[in-house]
Amino acid sequence: MTYSFTSVALLCCAALTVAVPARRASSAYAPVGAPCPAQQLVRQADGVSSAESDWVANRYGKTSEALATWLQNIDSGFEISSGHWRDWHGKRQWSDHGSHGQAPIIGLTSSGGGYRAQLSGAGVVKAFDGREANTTKVSGLYQALTYHAGLSGGSWLLSSIVGNNYPTISFLQTTLWETALQESLLVPAILVSEAARPIYGQVVDQIQAKVADGYQSSIVDPWGRLLSYGLLLGTAGGVQDTMSGISALPNFTSFNGPYPIITALGSDLNIDGTCIPQVNATQYEFHPYEFGSWDQGVDAFVVTEYLGTRFSGGVPVGNCITHYDQLGYVLGTSSNVFAAVCSAIPANMTAAATAVSLAENLAYLANPGAQGISEDQIFGLWPNPFQGYGPSSHVAAQKTLDLVDGGVGVGFQGNPIWPFLHRDQVDVLIVNENSADTVGNYPNGSEIYNTYLAAKAAGLSRMPEIPTADVFVAHGLNKKPTFFGCNSADTLTIIDIPNVNYTFNSGEPTAKIQYFKNETEAMISNGVLIGNYGGKEDWPLCLACGIMKKSGGSLPSGCEACFAEYCYN
């Protein structure tokens, strides 16, 4: 997902003239002090946490059964059933991917691209979800997913799913999204309307309570808060929802949905003065149990619940802090395109003004009465849990981590593939690509190619070979699903599924911040066709063949034709 600051910030016209409300006695948005637990909170990135490992092991029983059912419904020639697959516990090593007699571990990534990515990606999830009323032969695959990662607009989709306890897309569409996107609070004229005045007051009040408690506000605070009213069903736009709190939701504790990961990039503004993330920018990931990075120079994780705590050398300094991992602030950080301007944002304090940018409106909400937003405040600001920590040499001297959207910067990577280059247990990754690489706002393969280049530079071997964008387009790979890594035993199998306009012009601009109900419906319906490759007759079988190719069991005879059609290398 590529952005220019102009295309994102100069979206709409209105002046914020609503008076700032008096601060209430308390706010559910402000971080909360808490005693520190006895457990170690910061660790070196030498593998996934025991909490994640145990969760995945428990999820495996459900995914293997769901996958077996799905495969048998497609073709009885698949020689695998849940009765033949081994149990996870004690029999599968963490790095033993693709082993014979073991169900493959499957992940899904939802790319960035604003509401376009959220809605188109939602259609793909809907196509895969066996709980939906209208099903196809790809329905049921969602139940076989172990992981689901999101970036930017994809993080909006993922947060709305997991933050609301894994409902169906149909439920979210009719209960929340259709109205929320039509009455989008990102449109300033709507935000300052009489109807939205209570929400406006809540947002300002919540941010000021955070500041009053000693925390620095940034443009990401109002950005995440306004987005959340259209994504989370909880009180006041899910103000009490946290990333770590997902671990207590019933469908998470029952292992009924995939493990969520949200990604963002680090800026080195306060390290070497480089504001825009470079090709080798640090990739961070948020999930219910941990936050951190596998990358050299950070190489560490912290327990997500205690983000916001001041650390020194991996040990808390004083009391711990909770609720800094507010889910809206996480998804706002993952979609923080405003840092692309790389400069302070002035405040428009003139009530007579007729046009101000969205960024200026957010600056006002983040810091009312002040003269705009400083350069530091254009980032998602996260107290650095790795301050003074030996393995984290690149950021050890930093008090704060400055985070931005993964689609911002040089060598942008709009797909959250990076976490799975470090999780050897994942065999197959379905990459739903909704980036805007072309004039028509469709993908052309450049972003997944950038991930391939970055992986090679970092010495990561699990990323299969990806062709350049010109080859991608010349072979029509931007118009159809493609399997990468089919014949490479040591890499992931990546099943790339790009955004294509089957029944609706789904190449909507990333900067589009309002969708009418008929557009939301049309985008999601087109997304269902993307997941089902337009209803192509051989697609369910070929998708199943691509997933099972490296798993060691016998395959139906039709798979050879599938590999000839869909495998790139």
pLDDT tens-digit profile of 449-460? 999 999 999 999
pLDDT of 363 reads: 74
Q: What is the mean pLDDT of residues 30-57?
A: 96
Which residues are 349's β-sheet partners?
none
Is pLDDT at 436 greater than 50 in this prediction? yes
In whole angstroms, what is the distance from residue 247 CA to residue 234 CA? 16
> Band of the pLDDT at 52, cuts 50, 70, 90?
very high
Q: Give backbone dihedrals phi and psi of 77, rounded to 5 degrees, phi first.
A: -75, -15
Least confident of 2-11, 183-192, 231-240, 284-293: 2-11
The answer to whether residue 5 scores a pLDDT higher than 50 is no
Q: What angle do CA 112, 49, 91 make, to 5 degrees?
A: 105
Tokens of 406: 């993964």
Kindly report the CA angle at 256 between 236 and 108, in degrees rounded to 5? 85
Q: Tokens standing for 551?
A: 């798993």
**Confidence (pLDDT) at 91:** 39
Q: Averaged over 236-246, what is the pLDDT? A: 97
Q: What is the pLDDT of residue 229?
A: 96
- Highest average pLDDT, of 177-191, 349-363, 471-485, comes from 471-485
Residue 292 has pLDDT above 90, yes or no: yes
- Report pLDDT for 93: 41
Q: What is the mean pLDDT of residues 379-404?
A: 96
Query: Helices 327-334 and 220-228, interaxial angle, to 10°?
Result: 110
3-state secondary structure at position 47: coil
Query: 3-state SS string over 154-204?
Result: HHHHHHHHHHCCCCCHHHHHHHHHHHHHHCCCCCHHHHCCCCCHHHHHHHH
Bridge partners of 496, per DSSP, are: 431, 482
Instruction: Answer yes or no: are the C-beta atoms of 297 and 401 closer than 8 Å.
Output: no
**Angle at 229 (CA atoms; ends 223, 230), nearest 5 degrees:** 100
Residue-by-residue DSSP string for 209-232: HHHHTT----THHHHHHHHHTTT-
CA 348, CA 368: separation in Å to the nearest integer? 10
471 pLDDT higher than 70: yes
Mean pLDDT of 406-426: 89
Contact 569, 465 (CB under 8 A): yes
Write down the domain spans for the chain.
Answer: 31-184+230-336+379-566
Phi-psi region of 389 (alpha: psi -120 to 50; beta: other; left: phi over 0): beta
Q: For position 389, what pLDDT does the model report?
A: 98
Residues 334, 114: Cα–Cα separation, whole Å: 11
| Dihedral over Cα of 314, 319, 323, 324: its sign | negative
Position 347 confidence tier, pLDDT thresholds 50, 70, 90? low
Sequence-separated (6 or more) residues with CB below 8 Å from residue 22: none
Q: What is the pLDDT of residue 277?
A: 78
Predicted confidence band at 369 (pLDDT cuts at 50, 70, 90)?
Answer: low
The yes-or-no verdict on residue 354 having pLDDT over 80 is no
> Which of 170-184, 230-244, 547-561 bottoms out in mean pLDDT, i.e. has the lowest?
547-561
Residues 343 and 435: their CA atoms lie apart, in Å, by 25
Q: Which helix (H) or strand (E) holds 43?
A: strand 42-44
**Contact (CB, 8 A) for 530 and 500:** yes
* CATH number for region 31-184+230-336+379-566: 3.40.1090.10
Cα–Cα distance, 334 to 338 (Å, whole number): 11
| Banded model confidence at residue 54, pLDDT cuts 50, 70, 90 | very high
Residue 15: its pLDDT value, please? Answer: 27
pLDDT value at residue 7: 33
The arithmetic mean of pLDDT across residues 168-177, rounded, is 98
Rounded Cα distance, 308 and 321, in Å: 6
What is the rounded CA–CA span in Å between residue 435 and residue 408?
A: 12
| Residue 385 clears pLDDT 90, i.e. is over it | yes
In 418-474 the beta strands, taken as DSSP E runs, fall at 428-433
Predicted pLDDT at 361 = 67
| 85: pLDDT strictly greater than 90 | no
Q: What is the pLDDT of residue 27?
A: 77
Kindly state the average pLDDT of the residues 333-358: 61
Identify the pLDDT of residue 358. 65
- Give the distance from CA 341 to its chain's centroid: 22
